[in-house]
């Protein structure tokens, strides 16, 4: 009784004070520990068992091994179950299958399945669920098909596993068909099945179907709400995710948990909705006095991405248990908003605290150095990545660093690093250097870079245009004419610049040098009104003077 009510301490005291114990009392205590999450205590008690273990004891002990990932201990229990002839019981073989699949031992799980004298619905459910979670959808679907051929009727757990296996675009048609089958059997209204359907449609990027599946669930749980909010984020429908969160709060049926808050704060960060973000923060303060570090990181990220660096810094400074993500988020926030010196100082503070930086950390400090023009510091950071921390720079790091050198006019250094890197011929990097040569009027370097870029992108106009501008700034008009002639001979023409503006929900496009527009007459009338208004204001101002 105590164990089933979660009072494991009371259950153990009663167990220890029993004048005489038998296999039933030991089995109850071991099972209680396993079901209560105290798996190591369950295994420790199993090791002290003075009786020959029954099939139920073996099943509990094997499940405990599965929960904590102790596959070697599970193998030993498997051997003992064979020794005592307990492996023939279906609940023991089912526990073994679940244990091996949870530990990633697929072949062992199939071996137990092949050697089992009896395979029931629970056996197939464990196999289907295990292979689906281990990213083996084909095996899971074959097992489901074989189960149905044997005449076993799928239950809710069967559909949970097989729908999970279909969470891949390759199985979209099958997933939709299974959803229809679940509706016929009235399983889609159960939260256990409905939640999986929501996530399946999320993986298909079918947000409308995911939301419909969510509202089909009669008894929603916190996982239902989290699943649909997560689906909205995954499908980039962040506004709808925030609306559903608001609905959840108004219904007051469930209090948002750490996962909920992390999801909605991430959505606020993506669409930069600071007002909604502050409302979510306020609700978090009222309902969750000690939020998880993931939620705190999401808060810092939300404020930083919305440009509220002071608020992000206040939250960051209030955190005692900072992890690498906390530091990275704050450094990136400072870097992206032009606080290069502060990001540089924060990186040094992170090093002093003993937290080891990763590739994301260096991306943040390199951006900070780029925005602040900290060339020496940026060079030191880039060199230390591999030399001091064993982190191989990726394209993003290299591109940011070379852009920093180009902006500073360090073209020789840029060429040196490019000659040593596998990314030295990347078109984007060459393009940024060509732009830098234009700023610094370095015609010689610009010509070399443009030649490399044209070899990679012979049919693009940007190298010609930038090189032409570089020649023009230096007064080399013959060279400008030569470049334009080359463009003409190659059949290339610069795309005219254009502007986009949204008016009453309609996006209008205005192209330079183009006088034909669907509403050109209205635009002309409005410009004339503006001209007259400005003229009148100018006359009044001149009269006042």
Is the domain of 490 the same as that of 524?
A: no
Stronger pLDDT, 230 or 440, i.e. the higher one: 230
Whole-angstrom Cα distance, residue 239 to residue 267?
8
Among 115-124, 128-137, 186-195, the least confident range = 115-124
Residue 456 in any domain: the answer is: yes
Q: What is the largest CA-CA distance in the chain?
A: 110
Is the domain of 353 the same as that of 408?
A: yes
Among 39-53, 155-169, 323-337, 508-522, the least confident range = 508-522
What is the average per-residue pLDDT within 488-509?
A: 57
Residue 409 in any domain: the answer is: yes
Listing DSSP states for 176-211 in one string gives HHHHHHHHHTT-TTSHHHHHHHHHHHHHTT-HHHHH
Whole-angstrom Cα distance, residue 193 to residue 56?
28
Is the domain of 439 the same as that of 511?
A: no
Stronger pLDDT, 420 or 61, i.e. the higher one: 61
Average pLDDT, the chain: 86
Q: Which pLDDT does position 494 carry in this prediction?
A: 52
Is the domain of 384 the same as that of 357?
A: yes
**Closest to 368 in 3D by CA, of 399, 400, 343:** 343
Task: Give the number of other CB atoms < 10 A from CB of residue 529.
Answer: 10
Q: Structural domain of residue 410, as residue ranges?
A: 322-424
Residue 438 in any domain: the answer is: yes
* E strand or H helix that includes residue 508: strand 506-511
Whole-angstrom Cα distance, residue 293 to residue 299?
10
Is the domain of 488 the same as that of 512?
A: no
Two structure tokens written together for 240: 């709808």
Half-sphere CA count of 158, side-chain side, radius 13 A: 22
Task: Check: CB of residue 232 under 8 Å from CB of residue 241.
Answer: yes
Q: Which pLDDT does position 45 carry in this prediction?
A: 87
Two structure tokens written together for 95: 């526990």
Whole-angstrom Cα distance, residue 174 to residue 326?
41
Residue 246 in any domain: the answer is: no
Whole-angstrom Cα distance, residue 197 to residue 179?
7
Confidence bin at 281 (pLDDT 50/70/90): very high
Whole-angstrom Cα distance, residue 248 to residue 225?
7
Q: Which pLDDT does position 119 carry in this prediction?
A: 85
Is the domain of 358 the same as that of 441?
A: no
> Which among 42-51, 435-444, 453-462 has the top mean pLDDT?
42-51
Two structure tokens written together for 338: 């032009």
* E strand or H helix that includes residue 425: none
**Closest to 147 in 3D by CA, of 161, 167, 164, 133:** 161
Residue 134 in any domain: the answer is: no
Q: Which pLDDT does position 195 carry in this prediction?
A: 95
Q: Which pLDDT does position 391 carry in this prediction?
A: 94
pLDDT digits (tens, 9 = 90+) for 304-359: 999 999 999 999 999 989 999 999 999 999 999 989 999 999 999 999 999 999 99
Task: Check: CB of residue 188 under 8 Å from CB of residue 210.
Answer: no
Is the domain of 360 the same as that of 378?
A: yes
Task: Check: CB of residue 85 under 8 Å from CB of residue 113.
Answer: no
The residues facing 498 across adjacent strands are 511
Among 27-36, 235-244, 479-488, the least confident range = 479-488
Whole-angstrom Cα distance, residue 161 to residue 156?
9
pLDDT digits (tens, 9 = 90+) for 350-402: 999 999 999 999 999 999 999 999 999 999 999 999 999 999 999 999 999 99
**Closest to 257 in 3D by CA, of 292, 228, 302, 231:** 292
Q: How far is CA 255 from the centre of its chain?
A: 24
Q: Which pLDDT does position 114 carry in this prediction?
A: 86
Confidence bin at 489 (pLDDT 50/70/90): low
The residues facing 501 across adjacent strands are 508
- Number of independent structural domains in the chain: 3
**Closest to 372 in 3D by CA, of 406, 417, 413, 404:** 404
Confidence bin at 545 (pLDDT 50/70/90): very low
Task: Give the number of other CB atoms < 10 A from CB of residue 404.
Answer: 28
Residues composing the chain = 545
What is the average per-residue pLDDT within 419-435?
A: 81
Task: Check: CB of residue 371 under 8 Å from CB of residue 335.
Answer: yes
Is the domain of 394 the same as that of 361?
A: yes
Residue 331 in any domain: the answer is: yes
Confidence bin at 173 (pLDDT 50/70/90): very high
Residue 522 in any domain: the answer is: yes
Confidence bin at 439 (pLDDT 50/70/90): confident
Is the domain of 538 the same as that of 513?
A: yes
Confidence bin at 527 (pLDDT 50/70/90): confident
Task: Check: CB of residue 107 under 8 Å from CB of residue 78.
Answer: no
Phi, psi of 511 (to 5 degrees): -105, 140
pLDDT digits (tens, 9 = 90+) for 246-255: 999 988 778 8
What is the average per-residue pLDDT within 9-22?
A: 83
pLDDT digits (tens, 9 = 90+) for 85-102: 888 888 889 899 999 999
Is the domain of 374 the same as that of 465?
A: no
Q: Going by DSSP bridges, is the β-strand pair 506-511/498-503 parallel, antiparallel, or unpaired? A: antiparallel
> Which among 37-46, 136-145, 430-439, 460-469 has the top mean pLDDT?
136-145
Q: Which pLDDT does position 487 carry in this prediction?
A: 63
Whole-angstrom Cα distance, residue 53 to residue 22?
11
Residue 295 in any domain: the answer is: no
Is the domain of 400 the same as that of 482?
A: no
Is the domain of 347 the same as that of 407?
A: yes
Quick one: 489 exposed, middle or buried, by C-beta within 10 A (0-12, 13-18, 19+)?
exposed
Predicted confidence (pLDDT) at residue 502 exceeds the cutoff of 60: no
């Amino acid at each position: 009784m105590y164990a089933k009510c979660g009072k494991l301490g009371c259950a153990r005291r009663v167990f220890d004070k029993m004048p005489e114990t038998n296999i039933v009392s030991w089995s109850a205590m071991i099972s209680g520990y396993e079901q209560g999450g105290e798996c190591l205590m369950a295994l420790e008690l199993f090791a002290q068992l003075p009786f020959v273990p029954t099939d139920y004891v073996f099943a509990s002990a094997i499940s405990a091994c599965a929960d904590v990932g102790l596959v070697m201990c599970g193998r030993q229990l498997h051997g003992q179950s064979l020794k005592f002839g307990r492996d023939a019981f279906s609940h023991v073989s089912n526990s073994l299958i679940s244990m091996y699949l949870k530990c990633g031992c697929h072949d062992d799980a199939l071996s137990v399945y092949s050697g089992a004298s009896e395979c029931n619905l629970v056996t197939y459910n464990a196999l289907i669920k295990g292979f689906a979670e281990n990213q083996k959808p084909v095996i899971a679907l074959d097992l489901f098909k074989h189960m149905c051929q044997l005449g076993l009727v799928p239950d809710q757990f069967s559909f949970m596993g097989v729908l999970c296996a279909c969470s891949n675009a390759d199985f979209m048609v099958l997933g939709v068909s299974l959803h229809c089958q679940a509706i016929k059997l009235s399983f889609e209204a159960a939260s256990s099945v409905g939640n999986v359907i929501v996530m399946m449609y999320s993986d298909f990027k079918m947000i409308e179907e995911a939301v419909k599946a969510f509202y089909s669930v009669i008894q929603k749980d916190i996982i239902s709400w989290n699943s649909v909010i997560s689906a909205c984020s995954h499908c980039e429908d962040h506004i709808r995710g925030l609306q559903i969160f608001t609905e959840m709060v108004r219904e007051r049926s469930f209090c948002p948990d750490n996962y909920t808050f992390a999801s909605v704060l991430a959505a606020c960060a993506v669409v930069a909705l600071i007002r909604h973000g502050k409302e979510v923060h306020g609700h978090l303060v009222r309902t969750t006095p000690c939020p998880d570090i993931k939620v705190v990181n999401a808060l810092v990220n939300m404020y930083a991405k919305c440009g509220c660096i002071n608020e992000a810094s206040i939250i960051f400074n209030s955190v005692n248990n900072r992890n690498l993500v906390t530091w990275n988020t704050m450094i990136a926030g400072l870097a992206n908003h032009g606080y290069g010196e502060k990001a540089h100082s924060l990186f040094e503070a992170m090093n002093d605290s003993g937290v080891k930086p990763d590739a994301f950390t260096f991306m943040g400090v390199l951006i900070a150095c780029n925005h602040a023009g900290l060339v020496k510091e940026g060079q030191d950071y880039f060199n230390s990545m591999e030399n001091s921390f064993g982190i191989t720079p990726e394209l993003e790091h290299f591109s940011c660093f070379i852009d920093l050198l180009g902006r500073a006019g360090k073209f020789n250094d840029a060429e040196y690093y490019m000659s040593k890197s596998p990314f030295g011929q990347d078109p984007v990097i060459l393009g940024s250097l060509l732009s830098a040569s234009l700023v610094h009027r370095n015609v010689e370097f610009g010509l070399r870079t443009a030649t490399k870029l044209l070899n990679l992108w012979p049919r693009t106009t940007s190298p010609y245009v930038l090189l032409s501008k570089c020649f023009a700034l230096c007064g080399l008009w013959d060279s400008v004419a030569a470049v334009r002639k080359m463009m003409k001979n190659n059949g290339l023409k610069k795309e005219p610049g254009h502007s986009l503006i949204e008016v009453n929900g309609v996006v209008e496009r205005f192209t330079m040098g183009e006088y034909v527009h669907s509403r050109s007459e209205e635009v002309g009338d409005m410009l004339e009104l503006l001209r007259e208004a400005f003229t009148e204001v100018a006359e009044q101002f001149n009269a006042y003077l």
